[in-house]
Amino acid sequence: MPGSTPPGTTPDRGWWRGAAIYQVYLRSFADGNGDGTGDLAGLRSRLQYLADLGVDAIWLNPWYPSPMADGGYDVADYRSIEPVFGTLAEAEKLIEEAHDLGIRTIVDVVPNHASDQHAWFREALAAGPGSEARERFWFRPGVGDGPPNGWQSIFGGPAWTQVPDGEWYLHLFAPEQPDFNWNNPAVREEFLDVLRFWFDRGVDGVRIDSAAVLVKDLDSVEESYTDHDGVHDIYREWRRVSDSYGGRILIGEVWLPDQDRFANYLRADELHTAFNFDFLSSAWEPAALRASIDLTLATHLSLDAPATWVLSNHDVARPVTRYGRAVTSWDNADRRDGMPSDLELGRRRARAAALLAMALPGSVYVYQGEELGLNEVEDIPEELIDDPMWERSGHTVRGRDGCRVPLPWSGDEPPFGYSTGTPWLPQPASWRDLTVEAQQEDPESMLRLYRSALRLRRRLLGDGTIAWLPLGDEVLAFVRDSGLICVVNLGSAPVDLPAHDSVLLASGPLADGRLPSDTAVWLTPLS
């Protein structure tokens, strides 16, 4: 049964501790009505694919009514579904059908900001300065002719926009995403109710967008919004709600370099898990990866919280492209757009990275298309770029569309079975070899590797611990609770495998029984 507990885990410790969670970027997953944008009908028609893949849960990016100024992270109504995606009734059916297949559903909640089309923001604009309605956001008079302070938006440009009556409002992201004022009890109540709304509809968890930036100190001249202590009170309240439902989890999008500060979010009465961006950002180098794994495990162990292992998502360049570049680490501030990439090398490393991530203790995330080995699409015509980063950066940062291109399902040419219409972002012709249809017939494909690994993982991996095996500086090797041994060769020459009984799975062919460079293997121990 999906979500059941792997060996090494105490059965009642929670399904999420070892879960494999598949991220569905709904806009680009599968289009059921031919308008070029993915939707709930498309997703429901492909649920069996996800069950066959062997995932325990899906996390959907925001599916709410939205003007799509930031791909749905500009939410106009937190209790409904964007009509382009479908209806609330369809969302309820999806949750039920997924449950029938043993798949849990996690929704994205965006508490830092709404859409400028949200009823509260429209009310605030109409009500004018000094009104209660404005208190739900951050409205301030300017200083001289300029904004209240010099804070910059994360997407580029000033973090303040002026409204016709002269006041300015704060938006850490695009101007269409006004920030909520979390000092206001009405905002706090509203989100507790939003959580209940979705838990009442059967969702099993919530991914919390931009989780660390809710609390601000506007009096500070320096930008002062990341990781204020006050944010923890909010999540304690949220945790009480999720606990009252039982088995429902809170997952934080917490980008913080300081692991001690990061760990605060995982205290027993706060979030259940948070994304491991340290691991995602790590270079494909043995010392960097080992350090990230050690730091992660030490941090989580001390809190008895499960680690998460993340290689990609809808905000970062695809691993195949990243790992094929001369610089393999990830940095949000320097996206390395257009840096040449050896995709063959990148794909070999991405296969090895997948076996590494899936062997480590905790839960693992798979971003749609990762299981197909898709590369970042770097040649989207400028006039089709949708990401607000492009405009906000004055056309210097192309942004995140390259990892959001619709999935190739079948056939030899775009739209590759994704839609009967024109996909909202163009798919590369080269993806003909990467369709689900092509890969499921090929035992050497990325898809088949993911399927095999997720199946084995469910039985033998997940939550628990590791013991490192000393196989030299360039090799990562460890034993898991079940006895499974994972070995990854990050050096340039083949290495001998440790003593083992059999090879369960390998990310690439062995060379006379030795493990080649950029290859990972799962072994059973000597009996």
**Chain positions contacting ligand GLC, by CB under 6 A:** 70, 73, 110, 173, 209-210, 253, 314-315
The least CB distance from residue 261 to ligand GLC, in Å, is 18
Output 381-390 pairs: Cβ under 8 A, ≥24 positions apart.
381/426, 384/425, 384/426, 386/68, 386/71, 386/424, 386/425, 387/70, 387/71, 388/69, 388/70, 388/155, 388/173, 388/174, 388/176, 389/155, 389/156
Whether residue 475 contacts residue 488, with contact meaning beta carbons closer than 8 Å, is answered with: yes
The least CB distance from residue 501 to ligand GLC, in Å, is 42
Q: Which helix (H) or strand (E) holds 107?
A: strand 104-109
> How buried is residue 267: exposed, middle or buried, by Cβ count under 10 Å (0-12/13-18/19+)?
middle
- Full DSSP string of 438-482: HHHT-TTSHHHHHHHHHHHHHHH-SSS-EEE----TTEEEEEETT
The least CB distance from residue 172 to ligand GLC, in Å, is 8
Q: Checking phi first, is residue 346 left (phi over 0); if not, alpha (psi -120 to 50) or beta? A: alpha
Q: Is 189 a catalytic residue?
A: no
Q: Which is nearer to ligand GLC, 38 or 462 (CB)?
A: 38
Q: Which is nearer to ligand GLC, 31 or 108 (CB)?
A: 108
Q: Which is nearer to ligand GLC, 91 or 251 (CB)?
A: 251
Q: Which is nearer to ligand GLC, 116 or 315 (CB)?
A: 315
The least CB distance from residue 503 to ligand GLC, in Å, is 38
Kindly list the distances between the CA atom of residue 69 and the CA atoms of 253, 386, 455, in Å, as whole numbers in the listed order.
20, 8, 38
In Å, how far from its chain's centre is CA 459?
Answer: 24
The least CB distance from residue 209 to ligand GLC, in Å, is 5
CA–CA gap between residue 527 and residue 226 (Å, rounded): 51
Q: Is 176 a catalytic residue?
A: no
The radius of gyration of the chain's CA atoms, rounded to the nearest angstrom, is 23
- Catalytic pick among 82, 108, 116, 209: 209
Strands 20-24 and 57-60: parallel
Task: Kindly report the three-state secondary structure assignment for every residue of 358-385.
Answer: HHCCCEEEEECCHHHCCCCCCCCCHHHC
The least CB distance from residue 315 to ligand GLC, in Å, is 5
Q: Which is nearer to ligand GLC, 73 or 169 (CB)?
A: 73
- Catalytic pick among 116, 176, 179, 253: 253
Instruction: Give the residue nearest to ligand GLC (CB).
Output: 73
The least CB distance from residue 154 to ligand GLC, in Å, is 7
CA–CA gap between residue 25 and residue 374 (Å, rounded): 14
Buried/exposed code over 44-53 (b: 16+ C-beta within 10 A; e: otherwise)? bebbebbeeb
Q: Which is nearer to ligand GLC, 37 or 489 (CB)?
A: 37
Q: Which is nearer to ligand GLC, 49 or 173 (CB)?
A: 173
The two tokens of residue 303 are: 């809190």
Residues catalogued as catalytic? 209, 253
